[in-house]
Amino acid sequence: MAAALSVALAWHAAAPTGGRAAEGGFVATPIGGTDFRQALLPPPGGYLVGIGVGQSAMDFRERDGSRSALLAPEGYAAAGALILGHVFDGTVFGGRVAAAAGALYGNLCLRVRGIGRSQCQTGFGDAYAEVAWSRPLGDFGAALPGADDPRRQRIPYGLTVGVGLGGIIPVGEYKRTDLVPLGFNTFVALPSVAATYVTPPLLFDGTEISARAFYNIHGRNRATDYRTGDLFVLDWGVSERIGRLQFGPTGAWAKQVEPDRQAGRRGPSTSVTSLGASAILDLPEFGMFVQAKFLTDIAAEYRLTTHRAFLRVGFKLY
């Protein structure tokens, strides 16, 4: 349910030459993306999630995926976000409904030696809001632990599916001349579908396979008449559950399905593949969880590549 504008958006949008529009090359997702428990919702109640983000630039990839010989980016980002969420009582079509919204505040710095430009920005980024629905579909005949096994109370074995509708709300500071804008002056709709399957105990308490697919629909930036083309984004995670610990590899893939457009002209398209790992520690006696995650871009087209680290701490408020 963590949802806010990723600091990465500012870097992914960096356009360090006159022939590149400042909006191009960014991928909008909830902050840190999604990984484990993609289709799962916690019990009814209110929740607060705090997220810390650290990020460093690697290189700029050209349209063919090669490293730019001209651009030599150096930069970092540090930010924090707060997300408030509520899981509603009752069911709708056999599933539960939740809503969340949040905002991010941070510091971005980027220097592009190849063109002699640099900039640092501090302030609020764009906001994010989302409504989600989740429904378990059963265990599909898997041999699960007995009804009196305590693992049945804390692990949602079987298949759960979900759908969501999120949106990035353009409230962050924006100037068309910024190298690293805090906001992007355009609304982005993020409809999504998700699935999470937890196997019976194989290695330990259960193996989880989880994925969420977004279709990003970008509005037009009226200040520049620029519209980023729609993108398909897939976040995934494969993890093992051992007691209150869950860990494993995670990754993301994004591909633009149509080119950017400005004043009737077709622009570039972007893609990126990221790989990393994550771990969650549940602390039910305190009504909280802690999650650490690291991602790095391993392939990209027309975008700045980065290393990213995230720390999430979530609390049940009521």
Structure tokens at 162: 């979900």
Beta-ladder partners of 163: 133, 193
Q: What is the pLDDT of residue 4?
A: 26
Closest CA to 53 of 4, 97, 101, 18: 4
What DSSP element (H or E) covers 10?
helix 8-12
Average pLDDT, the chain: 87
Per-residue pLDDT at 148 exceeds 90: no
Q: Does residue 153 fall inside a structural domain? A: yes
Torsions phi, psi for 154 (to 5 deg): -115, -10
* CA 286 – CA 73 distance, rounded (Å): 43
The Cα 186–Cα 170 span in angstroms is 6
For residue 288, give Cα distances in angstroms to 84, 229, 280, 313, 315. Answer: 14, 38, 11, 7, 4
Residues 245-265 have pLDDT tens digits of: 999 999 999 999 998 888 888
Strand ranges, E, within 62-187 = 73-87, 96-112, 117-124, 127-138, 158-169
SS3 270: coil
Residue 267 covered by a domain: yes
pLDDT at 13 over 50: no
Question: Is residue 11 within 8 Å of residue 308, measured between CB atoms?
Answer: no
| 2 within domain boundaries | no
Sorted by sequence, the CB contacts under 8 Å of residue 147 that are 6+ apart come out as none
Burial class (CB in 10 A: 0-12, 13-18, 19+), 48: middle
Q: How far apart are CA 152 and CA 155, in angstroms?
A: 6
Q: Is residue 127 part of a domain?
A: yes
User: Is residue 1 domain-resident?
Assistant: no
Question: Do you know the residue count of the chain?
Answer: 318
Question: Is the separation of the CB atoms in 47 and 87 below 8 Å?
Answer: yes
Per-residue pLDDT at 88 exceeds 60: yes
The CATH number linked to 95 is 2.40.160.40
- Single out the residue of 199, 165, 192, 91 nearest to residue 135, CA to CA: 91
295 within some domain: yes
Strand partners, 303: 61
User: What value does the mean pLDDT take over residues 4-8?
Assistant: 28
Report helix, strand or coil for 315: strand
Cβ–Cβ < 8 Å for 174, 223: yes
pLDDT for 24: 56
Confidence of residue 64 (pLDDT cuts 50, 70, 90): confident
Using DSSP, state whether 263 is helix, strand or coil.
coil
* pLDDT value for 26: 67
User: According to DSSP H, which parts of 116-202 are helical?
Assistant: 151-154
As a whole number, mean pLDDT of residues 276-298 equals: 96
- Phi-psi bin for 308: left (phi > 0), alpha (psi -120 to 50), beta? beta
Range of the domain at 153: 8-316
- pLDDT of 146 > 80? The answer is no
Count of structural domains within the chain: 1
Q: What is the mean pLDDT of residues 18-39?
A: 70
Each residue's pLDDT tens digit, 195-250 = 999 988 888 999 999 999 999 999 999 888 889 899 999 999 999 999 999 999 99
- Which run of H or E residues covers position 9? helix 8-12
